[in-house]
Amino acid sequence: MKKHLAHIIISRNTTRWLLASLLLAFAPHILHLPITLSVLCLMFGIWRFSIERRSTIILPHRIFRTLLLCTILVIVYLYYGTLFGREAGIALLACMLALKLLEMRSVRDYIIAILLGYFLAITLVLDNQTLPMAAYMFVVAFMLTATLIDLNLAQKNRAISINLKLTAKLFTQALPVMLILFFLFPRIPGPLWSLPDDAHSGTTGISDEMSMGSISNLSQSNKIAFRVAFEEEVIDNNLSYWRGPVLWQTDGKNWSSGDSTHISREINYRSMGKPINYTVTLEPHNQKWLYGLDLPATTPSTAVINRDFQLVTKEAVKELIRYEMTSFSKYQTGPLSRNEMQRALQLPANRNSRAVALGQQWQQQIQSPQAIVNHALQYFNQQPFSYTLKPPLLGNNPVDEFLFKTQRGFCEHYAASFTILMRAAGIPTRIITGYQGGDFNPIGNYLIVRQRDAHAWTEVWLENRGWVRVDPTASVAPERIEDGAESAFSELFDRQSTLQFNNRFLTSNWLKLRYGWDSLNNSWNQWVIGYDSLKQSELLSLVGIESIKQMAIAMGVAVVTALSALLLLSVRRNRQKQDAVSLIYQRFCQKLSTIGIQRQPHEGPLDFAQRIITLRPDLEPQILQINDLYIALKYRPRHTQQQIKHLQQQVRRLKL
């Protein structure tokens, strides 16, 4: 079957098209590949380009190419330690493709290079699924397809515009079919097999451990953690606590969740006030939990809730997911188990002894736990504590050093010190990590929570009230809680940003643009990136499609319908293009054929008219009139509708 394309003559233009589109597909990889390989790939491309410029195409010898192949394999192995896996695979693919350029001769080689190019295009989006990258991928696919069409155009001196026009047409027509496939093709939840370790590299976010300084690392990142769309009105900033891991266990320096917390069957707290309904779109963070507003009242289908009211998933979140939630901002939790009580009072021995002594002193001086808490908060407020992104390094007794020496810290410093003080005073306390605040996007009407909003706060357990949220940071830097991290560090952000807008008008427009762009990204995430098997079944069940079988049938029907519609439409458009004048003349010829005068294919209108007149001299005036009109309409540039009508009448009146 190969022979059907064997006759195609490959022009040098085609090679240039191919080189250009492959360069486009390769460009984003240049910086990620080892420098040797990038340079090698580019060199091969330039080599082929210069070969094309010579009069005869002489490709490097086979032995030489085999040597190059071996070199590449060795380099890839040395660099990655393997020939498999994602990164090494991409490197190999790019190099093989570049090497293929040096042996391309037949149509088969070209087509294989184009197909490999498509493959390279998909590797572009493996870890970058943003809107600009999607656009770029489209451009790459477009160019490669244009190359393929160029290969199949049998014309030697063809205009580029034909090629591009055809490709554009193909793409526009393919778009509806693509949408059908995208939404209806039955998705199987991946992965099909365990992924290589490097599959999801480079995700940032809160971890399930905390040490002094771990969160402040995040606070300079503008990366988005998640977005929240509220069903009713947006929640106040001082209630916007997004619950992540709950930390109990400490050695005085580091905090962790300690013993794995039991998963509770039901959510047992007394909710008060109005429920808050919202939808979270969580960026992948490669951890096994979701974030919910304090306190979650429902669980999304992908997660369960544990006794710490933390949303826990079975698998790490490696793709963008979207889930609907309900929370209550006013609540009352139940009693504490013995185990919990122990864990909530656990203090490391021989560490931070001054802080422990202070806590114990408070316990003796002050009667009620509530009063102790208030006293501690006042202590933070009145002592010269300050809130800073760049706290000084702390030694072996970090809480002591922080409380009594440096007094400069970030939220985790306050949360950790407060917890140590409270536990020393006999009040069960735990640390909650997560996010606080966020920017409200007025255009998309949702909240954007970024990595810099990462936060740590505490919960104390009080008799009759259960767990109560206490944020010691609020007493030091209330603006951090009221207005979010950005305003607390506005000075810092101003210094860091290169764009300084003094002009209010410009600033507001810049903000608008930024929010608009983020809102676009949000919809993109909701509808394209976040569209997985779960969302698919959710969406399709709305129209009554429940099973995979039904999905497949619906997809088949939709695709066939779209293609038939396309076929019908294009055939009809062609009919219409056949202009009215020709149609009238066709009728004229048909009329004459009824009396046995057939127009021969080689006969022009003039010759035909002449023949009719010799056969039927009586028709001469009518025939001549029709013929003159037809020729005028057909071959002269300007004519009016009236003339066409006139011709039509003439033909109709013709009596044979």
Stretch 44-103 residues interacting with another protein (CB under 8 A): none
> How many Cβ atoms from other residues are within 10 Å of residue 316's Cβ?
13
Specify the residue, 1 or 543, whose C-beta has the smaller distance to another protein. Answer: 1
Residue numbers 297-326 binding another protein by CB under 8 A: 318-319
149 touches another protein (CB under 8 A)? yes
Q: Which of the residues 533 through 572 are near another protein (CB under 8 A)?
A: 559, 563, 566-567, 570-571
Residue count, binding to another protein (CB under 8 A): 77
Which is closer to another protein, CB of 528 or CB of 539?
528
Asked whether the beta carbons of 150 and 141 are under 8 A apart, the reply is: no
The residues in 637-656 that bind another protein, with binding defined as CB under 8 A, are 641, 648
Q: Which of 390, 578, 607, 615 binds another protein (CB under 8 A)?
A: 578
Read out DSSP for 402-471?
IIIII-EE-HHHHHHHHHHHHHHTT--EEEEEEEE--EEETTTTEEEEEGGGEEEEEEEEETTTEEEEE-
Per 3-state DSSP, the chain is made up of helix, strand and coil in percentages (nearest 5) of: 55, 15, 30
- Name the minimum Å distance from CB 139 to another protein: 12
Judged by beta carbon, residue 148 or residue 422, the one nearer another protein is: 148
In this structure, the chain runs to a length of 656
Q: Of 530, 608, 612, 623, which one interacts with another protein (CB under 8 A)?
A: 530
| End-to-end CA, the chain | 55
Cβ distance to another protein smaller for residue 202 or 621:
202
Rounded to the nearest whole angstrom, what is the least distance from the CB of residue 522 to another protein in the complex? 15
Evaluate the omega torsion of the peptide bond into residue 295 and state whether it is cis, within 30 degrees of 0.
Answer: yes
- Binder of another protein out of 50, 382, 574, 642 (CB under 8 A): 574
Closest CA to 355 of 270, 439, 500, 253: 253
Residues 580-639 that bind another protein (CB under 8 A): 580, 583-584, 586-587, 590, 601
Three-state DSSP class for residue 346 = coil
Q: Which of these, 349, 357, 372, lies nearest to 428 by C-alpha position?
A: 372
254 sits in which H/E element: strand 254-256
Nearby residues of 467 by Cβ (< 8 Å), 6 or more positions away:
333, 430, 459, 460, 461
Site for another protein in 109-138 (CB under 8 A): 111-112, 115, 118-119, 121-122, 125-126, 129, 133-134, 137-138
Q: How far is the CB of 254 from another protein (least distance, A)?
A: 33
Q: Are 413 and 459 in contact (CB under 8 A)?
A: no
> How near is the Cβ of 152 to another protein at its closest, in Å?
5
CB of 518 to another protein, least distance (A): 19
Of the pair 297, 584, the CB lying nearest another protein is at 584
The residue among 186 and 348 lying less far from another protein, judged by its C-beta, is 186
Residue 7 C-beta: closest distance to another protein, Å: 6
Nearer CB in complex with another protein: 389/580: 580
The interface mask with another protein, positions 483-522, x = CB under 8 A, is: ----------------------------------------
Dist. CA 175–CA 163, nearest whole Å: 18
Angle, helix 62-80 to helix 86-100, in steps of 10 degrees: 160
CB of 138 to another protein, least distance (A): 8
Identify which of residues 57 and 125 has a Cβ nearer to another protein in the complex. Answer: 125
* Least separation in angstroms between CB 566 and another protein: 6
Positions in 242-301 near another protein (CB under 8 A)? none
Sign of the CA dihedral running 304, 249, 471, 360: positive
Name the minimum Å distance from CB 155 to another protein.
Answer: 6
Residue among 185, 189, 144 nearest 167 (CA): 144
Neighbours of 61 (CB within 10 A): 10
Residues 2-21 that bind another protein (CB under 8 A): 2, 4-5, 7-8
CB of 591 to another protein, least distance (A): 10
**Distance, CA of 183 to CA of 430 (rounded, Å):** 45
Nearer to another protein, 389 or 559 (CB): 559
Are residues 209 and 443 in contact, defined by beta-carbon separation less than 8 angstroms? no
The two tokens of residue 526 are: 């909701």
Q: Which two tokens stand for residue 126?
A: 């493996």
Q: Which is nearer to another protein, 485 or 651 (CB)?
A: 651
Cβ proximity to another protein, 156 vs 338, nearer residue: 156
Q: Judge contact between 330 and 293, C-beta under 8 A.
A: no
Nearer to another protein by C-beta: 94 or 247?
A: 94
The tokens describing 656, both together, are: 């044979």
Site for another protein in 151-210 (CB under 8 A): 151-155, 166, 170-171, 173-175, 177-178, 181-182, 185, 187-193, 195, 199
CB of 262 to another protein, least distance (A): 30
Query: CB 192 → another protein: shortest distance, Å?
Result: 5
